[in-house]
Amino acid sequence: MFNAQLLILASPEPGWQQLAALLSERGYRVWGPCDLSKNELPLAKVAEAELVLLDNVTLPLEKRDTLPSACLRLDLATALADPVAVFVQIELALQSRPADFTLGEARLRQLLEYLSDVLVILAADGLPRYLSPAIERITGFTPTELMDKSALEIVHPEDQANVFACMEWSRTHPGEPVMFEIRHIHKNGGYVLLESLGQSLLDVPGIEAFVVISRDISRRRQLESEIQDSEKRYRIVAEQTGQMIYDWDVTNGEIEWVGAIERITGFETAAYQGVNIEVWESMIHEAERAATLAVLDQAARADGHFSMEYRLQRKDGSFVWVEDTGLFLKDETGTVVRMLGSMKDISRRRVNAELLQSAFNEREILLQEIHHRVKNNFQIMISLLNMQIRRTPFVQVGESLKDVRSRLHSMLLVHEKLYNQGFTATVHFGEYLQVLSRELYAQHARTVPVQLELALQPLVLRMDQAMPCGLIANELLTNAFKYAFPQTGERDCITLRLSEDGGDAQLDVLDNGQGLPREFHQGLGLHLVERLARQLDGSCGQVERPDGTHWVLRFPLAAV
């Protein structure tokens, strides 16, 4: 560590205490500051000090001879602004003492070994008097290789004029630091970007040189360039996709807006930067404002994510529908520190949605009207059949008319099922069969007290399959109720099954009665069943069993 003994003799300004603390942190042993305004001069400390630091206060004549030859005058403001330069001056002053020359040089080298920045001391003619070891790590050149190069020879030709101007300015402003950037030659043939702080100490006895401290900022500048390129690409993407991006820094209240600002709001990008959170809230349409702020409040208290739609006021006073999606960022205490998000114009989508909803409402009204008319027509036909059944004197004709009525009723059930489902193109056929079978059971149970068993899987059929399949089920169930049990028994049972097997739908109608009469196979009902089965690209037939009848309808399920 740099453990030289320093003594500060200065006026009573609080800044000297700050400088003493900085020197102590560096490792120096510091006495003082001693207040010269009170004519305090601790002679014992002066004798032990390796270097005395003075301000510009003039000592009484009788005290001047008591000071050691190793003194360094400092300007407090300059010293606090550039502590590194002070450290260099101290080490150079220590080095200049003849008795302690070797000790001072060792301290200086130790100091510079710790510096990651490059220290360069230039003579008045611009040739280096000293180059710190860090120069090799940054440029590839050893200090010895650059000792015969002037400041203008080691920088990019385009930077030479700037370096010369800074040196000339520094000559006329001694003690004042100047900041500049240069491209320093690298041993590999390229250049490395340095940020440099120079200061003229030509009028400082024992130094009489330019002091320059440089730092490699190549990587930092590369990252800055990459960030700028990334932001540029992001802005272009945001603009081309019609999005407006925002970044609200909650800590200072500033919002950065980028993207398709003018397209969405009508404001120029620069003008919109003045829109803060309060102005933005006031630009939300009053109909959606409370709900929008409630969504944000809930998101801030939850996981931070939000998505909402509202109308945002444009420059001309009109409103545009936007979809606003983003998130809140929180610190380690859970406090919101930033809000990031994007807005996009969804006005066209909202208009299309309203048109679609309007068309849907019109469709609903039209379908309701169609349903009522179809239902009324079915009911009129069924009523006419009922009148004809009551008036006909022929039993066989009446039974035939009842069969027609039953078939019409099964078709009406399919239509009502479609209406209740919202007029979709499909029918939940298991539910349909449950209603159909129970209505047929209710019609025939007074004359045929049998048990009805249902095993119906929830199959979905298209309309073009549901109608013929419903008619077949109606025909087979009606036959079972009418003909299977001429004499009632305790175990009389009709079973209806609906299942799927390998992509085919299968409908089973079973009874444990005596079966159909022989002449029944030539009737209209079974001919109708056969034709409807062919319409389904399927087959319908009886399965042999010891008692009763078992009909099986099988057809391929159409894609829904």
- Asked if pLDDT for residue 101 goes beyond 50, the answer is no
Span 519-543, pLDDT tens digits: 555 556 788 888 889 999 999 988 8
Whether the model clears a pTM of 0.95, i.e. scores above it, the answer is no
In the structure, what pLDDT confidence band is assigned to residue 370 with cuts at 50, 70 and 90? low
Span 5-16, pLDDT tens digits: 788 877 777 888
Among 276, 287, 245, smallest CA distance to 263 is for 245
DSSP code per residue over 304-317: SEEEEEEEEE-TTS
The enclosing H or E element of 372 equals helix 347-391
Residue 339's pLDDT is: 93
User: Under 8 Å CB-to-CB from 460, ≥6 apart: which residues?
Assistant: 426, 427, 428, 429, 560
Span 135-166, pLDDT tens digits: 998 999 998 899 888 888 889 999 999 988 99
Span 238-293, pLDDT tens digits: 666 778 889 999 988 899 898 888 889 999 988 999 899 999 999 999 999 999 99
Q: At what angle do helices 395-420 and 463-483 cross, to 10 degrees?
A: 140
Q: Which three-class secondary structure state does DSSP give residue 326? A: strand
User: Two tokens at 342?
Assistant: 């994007």
Distances (CA, A) of 134 to 115, 119, 151, 191, 295: 7, 8, 17, 16, 56
Q: Say if residue 486 is preceded by a cis peptide, omega within 30 of 0.
A: no
The span from the CA of 549 to the CA of 496, in Å, is 12
Span 166-220, pLDDT tens digits: 988 988 888 788 899 999 999 999 999 999 988 888 887 767 888 888 889 888 8
User: Two tokens at 408?
Assistant: 């019409």
Q: Cα 208–115–146 angle (5° rounding)?
A: 60
The span from the CA of 228 to the CA of 145, in Å, is 37
Q: Where is pLDDT greater, at 97 or 459? A: 459
- Asked if pLDDT for residue 62 goes beyond 50, the answer is no
In the structure, what pLDDT confidence band is assigned to residue 61 with cuts at 50, 70 and 90? very low
